């Protein structure tokens, strides 16, 4: 069996499941952000007329993280957040992370760094980039708010069709100036935005094995941009190291790995050693080109950070490249660390100073800019170069603007020159 | 008979259907006002009541790709539109079944705005061109939820079971 088959078999109390089987796996972790406001509404709807009190199935397995609109951009959001806080208190939700420097950040960073996600778990989130958590060997996928309301009520996901699995094997050593982001952009360009729709992507190969959890999170984060239900990296020594040393997890870990004879719907091979920096061009994530094809394109706003590329290693790369330089005079640069813990570490190591001295604006951790809510909307006809994960028309708040996606190294090098620039020199 | 009121291409994202800046609006009763908000003309047509319930949006591959935002389904359900596409992204398709938004997968339908379609269980007949196009059944995992009238009703049944 593949990893997802093994996880679903266990989560349904069966010895095996086959692709296409309809199962109802129990949920280990159910994550929401500000859209918990809608989940709460739908949760109450389920109980209407039943004569039962709406009480969640397990408050310790529910996580709610404020990240999409922090600080609140409108009174409407502030009121939604207020209602969620009241619900969290009333239901005793255990894993609540408010907008606070001592606990906050972007959900896809908060879950891993607090040790909430473990290998072998079933994780659902009302966010499409919940695929990120496959980086720790979990089966993690995005669902809608009503689906989550049903999870809150009954603790399982209804009617899940066991997905087929695409095996992606990444071999070789990434050249200097080429990053995990370039691997996943290359894959999306090759298989297309729907190439893995309804499938899980399992990542293998020595380039994945030797990659740290930060890089694996970047890759699994964007698996959904190929349409995948989830991306999964089989848990290994690095997973255990991350969970013990970074996330502070103690106790036994249940590492699930695929069987040697697991059946895959297809196998895609990537030679990491021959990759060059990749750019996803407007307005689809699978419109991917080698940097050499788009170098020289003028940019107005550079964004570094987010759940995709806002970790310490990402900020280190950006700080190193801009240190001692100034942003091009027409460029503005926004930096969004993925969590306040990362923010503080980046501050202590001097990365934020280097970025600020170069002219960057360091923002609080959050998603607002990436999805065009606030904190960095684009003007008419402007061009953004961003380490985030989506470039759809209107994504950064303006349907006449354009968004290009890239690695932190490309973004930082380009911020200095003011045009898309190859960081390899 | 259902009229095609909008024809779209491939990879229509949830940002296109329901822009992120309106996501603080969550209730299904309030989301319809922002359907295709960046397509000002079509949005105005919807809000004016000029589009009758059961009208069809025809699209290409991967309709509803991107975000898990349920507003993308509830905003279209608010006008009782039917979405006929060559393919749908997974989360959008599930949200549609959960909320009772009708989706039809037809890989070979050829239709233009203004065409009149007859939606049968196993085919679509374009009465304007005469084409009979095939329909691919929805993933069977969703059928029990659709049959129950949506996920709220289905979850309520299961809660009381």
Write the pLDDT tens digit of every residue in B109-135. Answer: 999 999 999 999 999 999 999 999 999
Q: Determine contact, residues A385/A408, Cβ cutoff 8 Å.
A: no
Q: What is the reported pLDDT for B138?
A: 86
* Residue B21 contacts A where some CB pair is shorter than 8 Å: yes
A25 has pLDDT over 80: yes
SS3 of B113-139: CCCEEEECCCEEEECCCCCEEECECCC
* Residue B24 contacts A where some CB pair is shorter than 8 Å: yes
- Please state the rounded mean pLDDT for residues A242-255: 95
* Residue A142 contacts B where some CB pair is shorter than 8 Å: yes
Beta-carbon-side half-sphere exposure of residue B100 (alpha carbons within 13 Å): 14
Q: Do B98 and A394 touch (CB under 8 A)?
A: no
Q: Do B152 and A52 touch (CB under 8 A)?
A: no
| CA torsion, ordered A271, A338, A420, A178, to nearest 10 deg | -20
Number of neighbours of residue A253 by Cβ within 10 angstroms:
16
Residues of B in contact with A126 (CB under 8 A): 68
pLDDT tens digit sequence for A337-350:
999 999 999 999 99
Q: Do A153 and B155 touch (CB under 8 A)?
A: yes
Q: Do B154 and A158 touch (CB under 8 A)?
A: yes
- List the structure tokens of A422: 């190859």
CATH topology classification for A278-417: Aconitase; domain 3 (3.30.499)
Task: Tell me whether residue A15 is exposed, middle or buried, using C-beta atoms within 10 angstroms of its C-beta: 0 to 12, 13 to 18, 19 or more.
Answer: exposed
Reported as a pLDDT band with limits 50, 70 and 90, residue B27 is very high
How many angstroms separate the CA of residue B127 from the nearest CA in chain A? Answer: 31
Choose, out of B9, B66, B107, the residue to mutate when testing the contact with A (most A CBs < 10 Å): B66
Q: Determine contact, residues B71/B18, Cβ cutoff 8 Å.
A: yes
Domains A3-270 and A278-417 share a fold: yes
- Please state the rounded mean pLDDT for residues A245-256: 94
Q: What is the pTM of this model?
A: 0.97
Residues of A in contact with B62 (CB under 8 A): 193-194, 197, 227
- Between CA A68 and CA A71 the distance in angstroms is 9
- List the structure tokens of A186: 């290359």
CATH code for the structural domain at A3-270: 3.30.499.10
Q: What is the reported pLDDT for B143?
A: 83
Residue carrying the six token digits 């100036």: A177
Number of neighbours of residue A78 by Cβ within 10 angstroms:
14
* Residue A160 contacts B where some CB pair is shorter than 8 Å: yes
* Residue B43 contacts A where some CB pair is shorter than 8 Å: no
* Residue B90 contacts A where some CB pair is shorter than 8 Å: yes
Reported as a pLDDT band with limits 50, 70 and 90, residue A299 is very high
Q: What is the reported pLDDT for A185?
A: 98
Q: Do B68 and A284 touch (CB under 8 A)?
A: no
Q: Determine contact, residues A43/A49, Cβ cutoff 8 Å.
A: no
Number of neighbours of residue A176 by Cβ within 10 angstroms:
9
Domains of chain A, residue spans:
3-270, 278-417
Residue carrying the six token digits 């088959």: A5
Q: In CATH, which of 3.20.19.10, 3.40.50.920, 3.30.420.40, 1.10.3720.10 is domain B2-136?
A: 3.20.19.10
Q: Determine contact, residues B95/A144, Cβ cutoff 8 Å.
A: yes
Q: What is the reported pLDDT for B89?
A: 96
Q: Do A37 and B26 touch (CB under 8 A)?
A: yes
Choose, out of B14, B17, B21, the residue to mutate when testing the contact with A (most A CBs < 10 Å): B21
- Taking every pair of C-alpha atoms in chain B, what is the biggest distance, in angstroms? 49
Size of interface A-B (CB pairs under 8 A): 155
Q: What is the reported pLDDT for A305?
A: 97
Chain A CA closest to residue B158? A154
CB proximity list for B114: less than 8 A, separation 6 or greater: B3, B4, B128
Q: What is the reported pLDDT for B144?
A: 85
Chain A CA closest to residue B40? A399
Identify the sign of the CA torsion B126, B129, B134, B136.
negative
Q: Omega into A119 within 30° of 0, i.e. cis?
A: no
Residues of A in contact with B156 (CB under 8 A): 46-50
Q: Determine contact, residues A397/A362, Cβ cutoff 8 Å.
A: no
pLDDT tens digit sequence for B30-43:
999 999 999 999 99
Nearest by CB: B66 against A45, A158, A390 = A390
Percent of chain A with pLDDT over 70: 100
A149 has pLDDT over 80: yes
Residues of A in contact with B15 (CB under 8 A): 371-372, 390, 392-395
- Between CA B61 and CA B66 the distance in angstroms is 13
Q: Determine contact, residues B149/B100, Cβ cutoff 8 Å.
A: yes
H/E stretch holding B26: none
Q: Do B155 and A34 touch (CB under 8 A)?
A: no
Q: Do A197 and B98 touch (CB under 8 A)?
A: no
Reported as a pLDDT band with limits 50, 70 and 90, residue A425 is confident
* Residue B20 contacts A where some CB pair is shorter than 8 Å: yes
- List the structure tokens of A51: 């004569």
Task: Tell me whether residue A163 is exposed, middle or buried, using C-beta atoms within 10 angstroms of its C-beta: 0 to 12, 13 to 18, 19 or more.
Answer: buried
* Residue A28 contacts B where some CB pair is shorter than 8 Å: no
Q: Determine contact, residues A405/A389, Cβ cutoff 8 Å.
A: yes
Q: Determine contact, residues B11/B65, Cβ cutoff 8 Å.
A: yes
Q: How far apart are the first and last CA of chain B?
A: 39
Chain A CA closest to residue B141? A159
Q: Do A146 and B69 touch (CB under 8 A)?
A: no
Domains of chain B, residue spans:
2-136
How many angstroms separate the CA of residue A99 from the nearest CA in chain B? Answer: 17
Nearest by CB: B16 against A153, A227, A393 = A393
Give the CA distances from residue A273 to residues A214, A223, A277, in Å, rounded to whole numbers and listed in that order. 19, 21, 12
The DSSP symbol for B20 reads G
* Residue A92 contacts B where some CB pair is shorter than 8 Å: no
Interface of B with A in 107-136 (CB under 8 A): none
């Amino acid at each position: 069996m593949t990893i997802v088959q093994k996880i679903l078999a266990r989560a349904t109390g069966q010895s095996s499941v086959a692709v296409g089987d309809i199962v109802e796996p129990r949920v280990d972790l159910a994550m929401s952000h500000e859209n918990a406001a809608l989940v709460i509404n739908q949760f109450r709807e389920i109980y209407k007329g039943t004569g039962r009190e709406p009480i969640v199935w397990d408050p310790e397995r529910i996580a709610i993280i404020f990240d999409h609109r922090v600080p609140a951009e409108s009174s409407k959001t502030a009121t939604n957040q207020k209602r969620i806080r009241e619900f969290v208190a009333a239901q005793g939700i255990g894993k609540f992370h408010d907008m606070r420097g001592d606990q906050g950040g972007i959900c896809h960073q908060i879950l891993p760094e607090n040790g909430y996600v473990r290998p072998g778990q079933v994780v659902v989130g009302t966010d499409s980039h919940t695929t990120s958590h496959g980086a720790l060997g979990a089966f993690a996928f995005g669902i809608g708010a009503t689906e989550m309301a049903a999870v809150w009520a009954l603790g399982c996901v209804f009617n899940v069709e066991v997905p087929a699995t695409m095996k992606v094997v990444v071999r070789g050593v990434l050249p200097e100036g080429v990053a995990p982001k370039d691997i996943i952009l290359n894959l999306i360009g090759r298989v297309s935005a729907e190439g893995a729709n309804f499938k899980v992507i399992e990542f293998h190969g020595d380039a994945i094995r030797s990659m740290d959890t930060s890089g694996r999170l970047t890759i699994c984060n964007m698996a959904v941009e190929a349409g995948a239900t989830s991306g999964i990296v089989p848990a290994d020594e690095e997973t255990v190291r991350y969970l013990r040393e970074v996330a502070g997890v103690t106790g036994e870990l249940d590492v699930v790995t695929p069987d040697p004879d697991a059946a895959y719907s297809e196998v895609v091979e990537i030679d990491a050693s021959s990759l060059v920096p990749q750019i996803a061009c407007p307005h689809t994530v699978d419109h991917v080109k080698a940097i050499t094809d788009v170098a020289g394109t003028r940019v107005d706003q550079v964004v570094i950070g987010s759940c995709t590329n806002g970790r310490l290693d990402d900020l280190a790369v950006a700080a190193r490249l801009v240190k001692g330089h100034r942003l091009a005079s027409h460029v503005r640069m926004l930096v969004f660390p993925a969590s306040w813990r990362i923010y503080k570490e980046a501050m202590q190591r001097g990365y934020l100073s280097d970025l600020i001295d170069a002219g960057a604006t360091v923002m609080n951790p959050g998603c607002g800019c990436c999805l065009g809510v606030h904190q960095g909307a684009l003007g008419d006809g402007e061009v953004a170069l961003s380490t985030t994960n989506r470039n759809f028309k209107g994504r950064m708040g303006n349907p006449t603007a354009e968004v290009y996606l890239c690695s932190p190294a490309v973004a930082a090098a380009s911020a200095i020159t003011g045009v898309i620039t190859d960081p390899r020199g | 008979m259902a009229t095609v009121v909008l024809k779209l291409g491939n990879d229509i994202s949830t940002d296109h259907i329901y822009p992120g800046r309106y996501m603080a609006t969550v209730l299904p009763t309030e989301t319809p006002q922002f359907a295709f908000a960046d397509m000002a003309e079509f949005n105005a047509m919807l809000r004016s009541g000029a589009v009758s319930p059961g009208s069809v949006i025809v699209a290409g591959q991967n309709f509803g790709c991107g975000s898990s935002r349920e507003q993308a389904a509830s905003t279209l359900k608010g006008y009782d539109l039917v979405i006929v596409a060559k393919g749908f992204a997974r989360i959008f398709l599930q949200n549609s079944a959960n909320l009772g938004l009708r989706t039809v997968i037809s890989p070979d339908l050829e239709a233009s705005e203004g065409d009149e379609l007859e939606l049968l269980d196993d085919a679509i007949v374009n009465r304007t061109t005469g084409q009979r196009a095939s329909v691919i059944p929805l993933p069977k995992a969703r059928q029990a939820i659709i049959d129950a009238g949506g996920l709220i009703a289905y979850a309520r049944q299961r809660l009381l079971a």
